């Protein structure tokens, strides 16, 4: 039972490691499995194919039920040993059976067709297998140039009627300098490397085997490698393998919807992910017709060929409504002197509005301690559907112990889509659980922090919002951190930040001041490690409210109850019976905060 389970796991791992957007093509003249040692060995040919691990193989010189092959279906024998599907196309009757060409494929074709081709020394054939996204053809052309030219004309006509990528492979019996290959290249692109010889196999001096693609129907792929395999014995030809990167369909390029970040300084950051490496940009404007384009350029280079995209739009006018859409063009090949692009996906238009400098009203939502509990988050979202909010804060421990990029992406998408993050900017603050696990450092790549720090401050109209990062809830020397943390430095760094913040004119002139941090300075179940550092500055600071989290238990502490100079509201936990969402509503000189639980019940209104 254990062995079976292990085998299943290995197969699943192998399948997961293969990209769905790659295609490995192979062609092999197998000389009916008779090697240069005069030994007929089906397993040896199968081993060559298995080691190459192609998706599809064009086979030439293969018997079916002939006397010399002991009445065996040779292609079937090889197919059984490679666990591939076999398709045979006879060219001539031979020795009591048939002789011709064939195809082996991992997938079952949606259509098969065989065409006779001219050959005065012996008749020839073309075998076509149509798959979902491409067509692969096998042939073994005549030794006579006139017959090859006639065959080429027929193949061109056949290819022109096809609407998919059209690949042709096989033994062409013509060298690269021949008139036939020159004529072939007018309509077909050679994907294999003609400089690598394929015949005779012990010491090749000629190139007569090729894999080519119709220029008329060749689009949306790039050659990532092409090689002649070092196999000098199994046949008199060497096998040829070409690796392709196939273009993703337009509908499959976006992995996530765009989400807005960092709406400060007359700018907005747009972020999203793609399933494939891409060149990306944002088209934006005050309408959907007259659009400008924004890209991320670092040191003169456009940041591209990646899957996580962060593009800043600057120079915006506060109070103006902007329309935008994100655009991603797949990059199939990115080399020093060659770039190959695939399809381009464009999102639908979304909108956003930056607050005017003198805006005196807004509504915000604050979530905390979701710990990746999707059902809890969705339950809370049901009760804010009728709220017209301007921004959202996730106050820590929402993306729980991130172990991988995929884990982070999945829940960040859940969060941003749940609050319409394509048109409502979100602020992600760190709790102690965002700091843990293997992908905790990589998590910041998914956000655009204000000032590029995990703490900071900004104005939303006449309201000043200050965000602090408490770090971990245990001392840096705790064994569980393995001496890989230094939050002491981060906490001390924020002392200087707070001194400057509390003295700056933006803070002093603000009509309302809101403090947000994950671990409470007041009302925590144990001493906050920031307490001795920050309290001397904050205990007299003129904040109107502090919004906190971490304890997993909703609490409200009026001003002065715990020595606090401002009211403290602590959000609940991730369980359905303890989760909360805060609705912060500012209307001119009045600040109203309402706390709801997962049932929609009002726990607090102040």
Distance CA 549, CA 571 (A): 5
Band of residue 359 on the pLDDT scale cut at 50, 70, 90: very high
| pLDDT confidence of residue 218 | 67
d(CA 587, CA 589): 6
The four Cα atoms 314, 320, 323, 325 give a dihedral, to 10 degrees, of 20
| The pLDDT of residue 19 is above 80 | no
CATH of the domain at 111: 3.60.10.10
DSSP 254: B
What's the rounded Cα separation, in Å, for the pair 259 and 420? 8
User: pLDDT at position 271, please?
Assistant: 98
- One domain for residues 73 and 210: yes
| pLDDT at res. 352 | 98
Domain count within the chain: 3
Radius of gyration over every alpha carbon of the chain, rounded to an integer in angstroms: 33
Domain limit, last residue, from 318, 352, 386: 352
Examine the fold and report which residue of 296, 318, 352 is the final residue of a domain before the chain moves on.
Answer: 352
Query: DSSP H helical segments within 61-200, as ranges?
Result: 74-82, 145-160, 179-187
The CATH number of whichever domain residue 310 belongs to comes to: 2.60.40.10
Q: What is the pLDDT of residues 323-343, one digit of tens each?
A: 999 999 999 999 999 999 999
Task: Give the rounded percent of residues in the chain with a pLDDT score beyond 90.
Answer: 95
Q: What is the mean predicted confidence (pLDDT) over 145-164?
A: 95
As a whole number, the mean pLDDT across the chain is 95
The pLDDT value recorded for residue 184 is: 98
pLDDT at 12: 42
Mean pLDDT of 526-548: 95
Are the CB atoms for 396 and 430 separated by under 8 Å? yes
d(C-alpha 469, C-alpha 486), whole Å? 13
Residue 98 covered by a domain: yes
Domain containing 255 equals 250-352
Residue 296 belongs to a domain: yes
State the Cα–Cα distance between residues 139 and 137, nearest whole angstrom.
7
Does residue 2 fall inside a structural domain?
no
pLDDT tens figures, 435-487? 999 999 999 999 999 999 999 999 999 999 999 999 999 999 999 999 999 99
Q: Classify the phi-psi angles of 96: left when phi > 0, otherwise alpha if psi is within -120 to 50, otherwise beta.
A: left
Q: How many CA atoms lie within 13 A of 294 on its CB side?
A: 21
257 in the same domain as 237? no
C-alpha distance from residue 164 to each of 133, 134, 186, 244, 441 (Å): 6, 5, 19, 15, 43
Is the per-residue pLDDT at 7 higher than 50? no
Cα separation, 180 vs 143, whole angstroms: 11
Q: What are the pLDDT digits (tens) for 227-259?
A: 999 999 999 999 999 999 999 999 999 999 999
Task: Based on the fold, state whether residues 389 and 471 are members of the same structural domain.
Answer: yes
Rounded to whole angstroms, how far apart are CA atoms 66 and 534? 89
One domain, residues 292 and 172: no
- Cβ atoms of 168 and 125 within 8 Å: the answer is no
For position 14, what pLDDT does the model report?
A: 40
pLDDT, tens only, 382-431: 999 999 999 999 999 999 999 999 999 999 999 999 999 999 999 999 99
CATH of the domain at 568: 3.60.21.10
pTM of the complete model: 0.89
Q: d(Cα 517, Cα 395) in Å, to the nearest integer?
A: 7
Inform me whether the pLDDT recorded for 10 exceeds 50.
no
Strands 590-597 and 580-587: antiparallel
Question: pLDDT tier at 357 (50, 70, 90 boundaries)?
Answer: confident
Are 224 and 264 in the same domain?
no
How far, in Å, CA of 62 to CA of 71, rounded?
12
The whole-number pLDDT of residue 547 equals 98
Q: Is residue 7 part of a domain?
A: no
Q: How confident is the model at residue 217 (pLDDT cuts 50, 70, 90)?
A: confident
Residues paired with residue 203 on neighbouring β-strands, in sequence order: none
Domain-embedded: residue 235:
yes
Same domain as 392, residue 289: no
Provide the pLDDT for residue 582.
98
**Within this chain, do residues 132 and 188 fall inside the same structural domain, yes or no?**
yes
Residue 293 lies inside a defined structural domain of this protein = yes
Per-residue pLDDT reduced to its tens digit, 61-106: 999 999 998 999 999 999 999 999 999 999 999 999 999 999 999 9
pLDDT band at 6 (very low <50, low <70, confident <90, very high): very low
From 305, 334, 352, the end of a domain falls on 352
């Amino acid at each position: 039972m254990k062995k079976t389970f292990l085998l299943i796991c290995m197969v699943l791992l192998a399948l997961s490691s293969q990209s769905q957007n790659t295609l490995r093509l192979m062609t092999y003249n197998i000389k009916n499995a008779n090697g240069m040692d005069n030994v007929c060995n089906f397993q040896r040919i199968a081993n060559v194919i298995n080691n190459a691990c192609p998706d599809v193989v064009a086979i030439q010189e293969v018997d079916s039920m002939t006397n010399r092959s002991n009445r065996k279906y040779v292609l079937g024998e090889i197919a059984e040993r490679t666990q591939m599907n076999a398709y045979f196309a006879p060219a001539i009757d031979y020795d009591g059976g048939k002789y011709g060409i064939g195809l082996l494929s991992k997938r079952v074709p949606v259509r098969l067709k065989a065409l006779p081709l001219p050959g005065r020394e012996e008749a020839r054939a073309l075998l076509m297998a149509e798959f979902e996204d491409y067509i692969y053809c096998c042939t073994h052309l005549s030794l006579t140039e006139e017959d090859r030219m006639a065959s080429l004309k027929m193949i061109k006509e056949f290819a022109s009627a096809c609407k998919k990528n059209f690949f042709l492979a096989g033994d062409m019996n013509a060298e690269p300098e021949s008139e036939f290959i020159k004529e072939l290249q007018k309509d077909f692109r050679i994907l294999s490397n003609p400089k690598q010889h394929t015949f005779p196999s012990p010491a090749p001096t000629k190139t007569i085997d090729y894999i080519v693609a119709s220029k008329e129907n060749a689009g949306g792929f790039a050659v990532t490698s092409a090689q002649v395999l070092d196999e000098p014995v199994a046949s008199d030809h060497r096998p040829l393998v070409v690796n392709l990167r196939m273009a993703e369909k337009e509908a499959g390029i976006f992995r996530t919807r765009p989400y807005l970040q960092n709406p400060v300084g007359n700018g907005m950051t747009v972020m999203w992910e793609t399933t494939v490496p891409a060149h990306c940009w944002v088209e934006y404007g005050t309408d959907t017709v007259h659009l400008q384009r924004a890209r991320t350029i670092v040191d003169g280079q456009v940041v591209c060929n990646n899957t996580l995209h962060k593009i800043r739009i600057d120079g915006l006018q506060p109070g103006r409504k902007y329309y935008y859409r994100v655009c991603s063009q797949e990059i199939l090949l990115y080399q020093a002197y060659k770039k190959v692009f695939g399809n381009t996906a464009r999102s639908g238009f979304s909108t956003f509005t930056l607050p005017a400098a003198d805006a005196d009203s807004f509504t915000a939502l604050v979530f905390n301690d979701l710990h990746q509990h999707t059902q809890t988050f969705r339950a809370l979202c049901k009760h804010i559907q009728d709220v017209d909010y301007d921004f959202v804060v996730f106050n820590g421990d929402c993306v729980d112990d991130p172990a991988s990029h995929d884990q982070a992406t999945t829940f960040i998408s859940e969060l941003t889509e749940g609050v319409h993050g394509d048109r409502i900017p979100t602020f992600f603050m760190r709790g102690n659980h965002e700091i843990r696990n293997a992908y905790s450092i990589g998590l910041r790549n998914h956000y655009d922090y204000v000032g590029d720090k995990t703490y900071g401050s900004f104005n939303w109209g006449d309201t000043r919002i200050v965000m602090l990062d408490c770090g971990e809830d245990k001392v840096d020397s705790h064994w569980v951190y393995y001496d890989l943390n230094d939050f002491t430095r981060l906490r001390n760094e924020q002392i200087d930040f707070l001194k400057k913040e509390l003295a700056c004119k933006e803070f002093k002139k603000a009509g309302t001041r809101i403090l947000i941090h994950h671990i409470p300075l007041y009302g925590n179940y144990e001493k906050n490690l920031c307490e001795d550092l920050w309290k001397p500055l904050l205990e007299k600071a003129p904040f109107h409210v502090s919004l906190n989290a971490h304890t997993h238990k909703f609490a409200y502490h009026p001003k002065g109850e715990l020595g606090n100079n401002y009211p403290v509201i602590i959000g609940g936990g991730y369980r359905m019976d303890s989760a909360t969402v805060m609705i912060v509503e500012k209307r001119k000189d009045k600040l109203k905060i309402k706390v709801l639980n997962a049932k929609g019940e009002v726990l607090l209104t102040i």
